Amino acid sequence: MKNPLKVISNLSLLLAIGLFFSSCGKDTLTPATDIDDIQALTSTEIACVDINLHVYLEGAYAPDRGEMTTDLHIRGLLPGQTFNGIGTPTPDGQPYDVAPWNYPGKEGDNWTDANYTGSETDWILVSFRTDITKSSEIAAAAALVNKDGSVTFVDECVLESDIADEVYVVIEHRAHMGIMTDKPVDITDGDLTYDFRVQDSYTNGLASVGQKEIAPGVWAMYAGDTDQTDAVSYDINGSDNIWYLHNGSFNIYHVADCNLDGDINGADKHMWMANNGFSSRVPK
């Protein structure tokens, strides 16, 4: 939906009703204006930005298909799905309401299989900043990333168009290193469009990385950042080697599952080992 409008109720309803009728000093009330005038007095329309983002997660990317897997959905492990195998169903609700993200959004609450389309790879956390610092964040939302890299927002009005003319876009995933656009992205005619898949993301030039080129001209978020309690920025180091604590766990929705196939095994360790030592300078 392009530029949806959010309608906010106005507490001046009683005042509007008072304007709708005029006694003119008599006992009988007569209309003073029409219903369109009443609606104009009782509501405010706020234009919302139409956000079009694409991003790849290295762990789920399948080079032979040129897209990401949907194994978590196939296994019924995404939050709220009905899981019929041997294992524990994942509770409904977006997965970023816990530390270190502590995002309180209600996206995904009361979701079931019916709310998913089948093209989803996983949930991500998207935020918008007016400069590179975390303190400049003006909006955030949990969203779904699909196998083709497209991002689907649950809330139609994540970002209001009158807040900023350009923003930095930050994307986080529970098992991948966070990324940010390398420069602010223009909001033009109510549209914000950015494709992380075709370009590297923010670095400050000081031995840091943005994304990983997983194929010529194809970029993805680094897999293996499973412990994101780092205070300054994102990195992949020894503290992320948590796979050994959960190695052998199957049919589970867990941060140690770096390749997002629902199992924790040597394949997840391999991803951590391949990226160990890489760090970002995206401010937290």
pLDDT value of position 47: 93
Regions in the chain scoring below 50 on pLDDT: 1-33, 35, 37-43
pLDDT value of position 246: 93
Compute the distance between CA of residue 264 and CA of residue 268 in angstroms, rounded to an integer.
6
Number of residues assigned to the chain: 284
Give the pLDDT confidence of 31-86 residue by residue, as tens digits: 444 545 444 434 457 799 999 999 999 999 999 999 999 999 999 999 999 987 77
3-state secondary structure of 136: helix
The end-to-end CA distance of the chain, in Å, is 31
Phi–psi pair at 191, nearest 5 degrees: -115, 140
Look up residue 143 and give its two tokens.
């969203």
pLDDT value of position 24: 34
pLDDT value of position 44: 57
Angle at 244 between CA 239 and CA 249, to 5 degrees: 130
Cα-to-chain-centroid distance, residue 228: 16
pLDDT value of position 1: 43
pLDDT value of position 86: 78
CA atoms in the 13 A half-sphere facing the CB of 276: 13
pLDDT value of position 202: 97
Q: Exposed/middle/buried for 151, CB within 10 Å: 0-12, 13-18, 19+?
A: buried
pLDDT value of position 30: 41
Compute the distance between CA of residue 266 and CA of residue 273 in angstroms, rounded to an integer.
10
How much is the pTM?
Answer: 0.85
Cβ distance 122 to 173 under 8 Å?
yes
